[in-house]
């Protein structure tokens, strides 16, 4: 499976510009003929405008479905559409949506762990469900940014059977080492591919670090981006899943009766 991460530099509080730019990047990425394209966290608004946030949000995912879903169908490609600031039932959510090759929205996920150090919890409502889906017969899950610091979330997905985890993020440059360490750990401990699409550029005083990466189940880096905007593409060989799971059978050897 070939994956393209669209490491996007977005404009804070400018959804029209960001939608146009995301579409341009999707079009450019199709030159590599990827099976899956991935966008970063809150790419429609940036992370995150305090003023008029509700007015800048998508409305129950309508715009993402209309514009990104249409591109998925046009290009016959799966799109993990990062996440967007999204209003639903009067609340603002940080919502990820996934589209299959027919342009259908097959999965959605609201970020469950809101980043309290930046006050995300004062503006957004946390989600209440996990998210699993299948792309081209590959069992997948998705988490958003701060979620990666909670290994019990990823393990809850993995114990049900997971081959690939998508992490969409707006991770600051100052903690790039944490990001790479955490995504490698999630890949190793759960014996799966981890695809992390991060943003880059600045929003206010925050510099986002890029460094999107595709990690194999052994924790080895298949591809890694720099700090500036780029399209990162790498291929995931599913044979690596069979190899590591046959060599080190951690899921067979778990002792869940001892865990609390």
**Catalytic-residue membership of 111:** yes
CB within 8 A of 134, min separation 6: which ones?
Answer: 106, 140
Task: Give the contacts of 245 (CB within 8 A, at least 6 positions apart).
Answer: 191, 217, 251
Q: Catalytic site residue 145?
A: yes
Q: Is residue 228 flagged as an active site residue?
A: no
Catalytic residue among 65, 111, 197, 200: 111
**Annotated catalytic residue, options 145, 196, 197, 200:** 145
Q: Which residue among 41, 65, 120, 196 is the active-site one?
A: 41
Using a 10 angstrom Cβ sphere, with 0-12 exposed, 13-18 middle and 19 or more buried, the burial of residue 229 is: middle
Phi (first) and psi of residue 137, to 5 degrees: 70, 10
Phi, psi (deg, nearest 5) at residue 30: -65, -15
Q: How far, rounded to the nearest angstrom, does the alpha carbon of residue 128 sit from its chain's CA centroid?
A: 17
Active site residues: 41, 111, 145
């Amino acid at each position: 499976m070939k994956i393209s991460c669209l490491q996007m530099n977005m404009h804070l509080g400018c959804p029209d510009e960001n939608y146009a730019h995301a579409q341009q990047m999707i079009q450019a990425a199709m030159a590599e003929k990827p099976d899956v394209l991935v966008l970063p966290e809150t790419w429609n608004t940036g992370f995150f405008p305090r003023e008029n946030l509700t007015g800048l949000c998508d409305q129950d995912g309508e715009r993402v479905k209309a514009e990104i879903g249409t591109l998925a169908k046009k290009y016959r490609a799966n799109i993990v559409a990062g996440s967007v600031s999204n209003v639903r039932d009067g609340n603002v959510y940080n919502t990820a949506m996934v589209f299959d090759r027919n342009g259908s929205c097959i999965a959605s996920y609201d970020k469950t762990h809101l980043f309290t150090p930046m006050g995300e919890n004062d503006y957004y409502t946390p989600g209440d469900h996990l998210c699993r889906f299948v792309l081209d017969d590959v069992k997948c899950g998705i988490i958003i940014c701060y979620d990666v610091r909670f290994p019990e979330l990823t393990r809850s997905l993995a114990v049900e059977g997971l081959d690939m985890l998508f992490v969409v993020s707006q991770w600051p440059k100052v903690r790039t080492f944490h990001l790479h360490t955490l995504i490698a750990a999630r890949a190793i401990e759960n014996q799966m591919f981890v695809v992390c699409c991060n943003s880059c550029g600045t929003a206010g005083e925050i510099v986002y670090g890029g460094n999107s990466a595709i990690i194999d189940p052994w924790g080895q880096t298949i591809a890694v981006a720099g700090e500036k905007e780029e399209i990162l593409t790498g291929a995931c060989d599913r044979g690596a899943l069979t190899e590591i799971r046959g060599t080190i059978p951690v899921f067979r050897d778990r002792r869940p009766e001892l865990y609390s």
